Structure 1
Amino acid sequence: MAAKIKLIADSGSTKTEWGLLGAGKPVILKTQGVSPYFQSAEQIRDIFGVELSKQLPEGTVVDEIYFYGTGLSQQKNIELVAAGLKSVWPVAHIEVQHDLMGAARALCGRGEGIASILGTGSNSCYYDGNTIVKNNPGLGYVLGDEGSGAYLGRKVLQYYLYNTFDEELRARFDLKYKTTKDEILESVYRKPLANRYLANYAEFLSDNRQHFMIENILEDGLNDFFFNHIYKYRESWTTELHFTGGIAWHFQDILKELCELYELPMGKILRTPMDGLLVYHA
């Protein structure tokens, strides 16, 4: 019997990483992010049916699809994404889950742990090896997302617009971004996908490590995540803390320092959940 062909998706607001299993060596593909809060049914179908389909090897017949994505805590959003997948692969078995379940399965496998996402947005949960038992509510980039790219990027813009940066950092910002106050406010308050826009400025932090203002933004922002999320799980002191996402990966030294400071058991850090998901679904 031929091996089943499986598509596994890890989708954030900015990009989606796809793993193709069962056709020899696993293949990794990428498309733009799928965000049911901000994209229409037609836009989501085009990502699956056009952007992804043209990257698949010719003649690929997909048997199973496991889609983990942002914004999928509400049933209507799950149905929207599932319908988009079904329109392209009508006979495939389709499972659509919140990206937090994808992170938990990737980081913890079938064991327990605290699984956290620190990417464009942020989220966390206590996972018992099978289900998400506790989840401190994610409030999105306007009210929450502490420690995320959007949260940290907003801090960068605040420091810049409030003239808090010293002359050196302000000059570096101007050289890199060549933007104005009016352009920034237009992008944040009038244009779509403001969370992605804000998250782009987190790169400025990575470029300027060791400057005390940059380190302050990073330490305060990630500490806000610990205080508002990690601290809410009593299991944090007895089971390992695992992290995934670009922010977690690039600033893992600060995460490790915070775990040491608060005497919390540090676990693994993955740049993306995909490697763990490929193992889980294999």
Structure 2
Amino acid sequence: MSRTILIADAGATKTEWSLLRNGKVKSLETLGISPYFLGEEQIAELLRKDLVPSLKKAEVAEVYFYGTGCLNPQNNKLVKNALKKVFRGASVKVTHDVEGAAIGLCGRSKGIACILGTGSSSCFFDGKKIKKNNPGLGYALGDEGSGAYLGKKVLQYYLYNTFDEDLRARFDAAYVTTATEILENVYKKPLPNRYLASFARFLADNRGHYMVENIIEDGLNDFFFTHLVKYNEAWKYPINFVGGIAFGFKDVIKDLCATYNFELGRILQKPMKGLIEFHRDM
């Protein structure tokens, strides 16, 4: 492979980049790029400031951007325009993060691909393209099983005084905050989804407590029940997962797959390795 390729796996919290050049891979990371929160010029400026200097003047020929929110045609165009401003002359393809997850998890095989990160989504991939995709409603109305969804549960338990004294003390020690500050971050400040997702860490740090286990299991089961059971293919092909939440709570994912009689496929923290393999073989 002689051409220089840039691949992006963009979530709301962070974006992972891989530069493929002369048979070598250079990994980079920037802040998340979501067209729901950043405009065209903001994205372009982020790329110029945080990405381009690290590319060491590499002449990028092709850009493949897999990003959150990019299924929406307007958002797709916005991101594509921003990339074209920065990588002039390069071939730019923008598609959504669910397709990136599907390719990264399934390669050229059939399967269900699920994202459980800051947000959540799922699809049935036939080895070539996505055939079915349950619509994502975002952190306010959906994103079942995501970091934002689980973090919201943590805050509900805390603010409603549902936590027992032990867990409340642990929360107060981990997060020096107030109800007023929490509500301001959720309803008035930018990027509330990231803020909510940051509290999923509390669950990972306090495994074993029955309330914590209930939140994790209930939150992930909401994803299975709301989304996965609606795919007829869920009982025919492997169910694959990618994202920090899926990877961090893979024991619960495994148990839920057994409960629903699903065949568990791969659970990856990130889809990038699969994306690199895919584009190298094109």
Offset from partner CA, 1:111-164 (integer Å, 9 cap, x none) = 110000000000000010111101111110010000000000000000000000
Aligned partner of 1:149: which letter?
Answer: G
Measured on the aligned residues, the alpha-carbon RMSD in Å equals 0.8
Question: Is 2:17 the partner of 1:31?
Answer: no
Give distance in 1, aligned partners of 2:57 and 2:44. Answer: 20
Equivalent residue number for residue 144 of structure 1 = 142
Give distance in 1, aligned partners of 2:113 and 2:46. Answer: 28
Under a length normalisation based on structure 1, what TM-score does the superposition of the two structures give? Answer: 0.98
Equivalent residue number for residue 117 of structure 1 = 115
Equivalent residue number for residue 245 of structure 1 = 243
Give distance in 1, aligned partners of 2:108 and 2:33. Answer: 27
Equivalent residue number for residue 277 of structure 2 = 279
Offset from partner CA, 1:215-245 (integer Å, 9 cap, x none) = 0000000000000000010100010000000
Q: Note the C-alpha offset of 1:25.
A: 2.3
Equivalent residue number for residue 5 of structure 1 = 4
Report 1:189-228 matches (<5 A). Answer: 189-228=187-226
Q: Note the C-alpha offset of 1:31.
A: 0.1
Deviating beyond 4 angstroms after TM superposition, the runs of 4 or more aligned structure 1 residues are none
Aligned partner of 1:29: which letter?
Answer: L
Give distance in 1, aligned partners of 2:218 and 2:256. Answer: 11
Report 1:46-65 matches (<5 A). Answer: 46-56=45-55, 58-65=56-63
Offset from partner CA, 1:60-85 (integer Å, 9 cap, x none) = 10010000000111111111111111
Offset from partner CA, 1:229-276 (integer Å, 9 cap, x none) = 000101000100000000000000000000111111000011011111
Give distance in 1, aligned partners of 2:46 and 2:241. Answer: 27
Aligned partner of 1:16: which letter?
Answer: T
Give distance in 1, aligned partners of 2:244 and 2:145. Answer: 11
Aligned partner of 1:146: which letter?
Answer: E
Equivalent residue number for residue 67 of structure 1 = 65
Under a length normalisation based on structure 2, what TM-score does the superposition of the two structures give? Answer: 0.98
Q: In the alignment, which of 78, 97, 115 is matched to residue 80 of structure 1?
A: 78
Q: Equivalent residue of 1:26, what SS?
A: strand
Give distance in 1, aligned partners of 2:107 and 2:3. Answer: 21
Percentage of matched positions with identical amino acids: 59
Give distance in 1, aligned partners of 2:232 and 2:28. Answer: 38
**Structure 2 residues without counterparts, runs of 5 or longer:** none
Aligned partner of 2:166: which letter?
Answer: E
Q: Note the C-alpha offset of 1:24.
A: 3.9
Give distance in 2, aligned partners of 1:7 and 1:71. Answer: 20
Q: Note the C-alpha offset of 1:49.
A: 1.6
Question: Is 2:256 the partner of 1:258?
Answer: yes
Q: Note the C-alpha offset of 1:23.
A: 3.4
Give distance in 1, aligned partners of 2:23 and 2:256. Answer: 41
Report 1:117-196 matches (<5 A). Answer: 117-196=115-194
Q: Note the C-alpha offset of 1:183.
A: 0.2
Give distance in 1, aligned partners of 2:191 and 2:129. Answer: 31
Q: Equivalent residue of 2:45, what SS?
A: helix
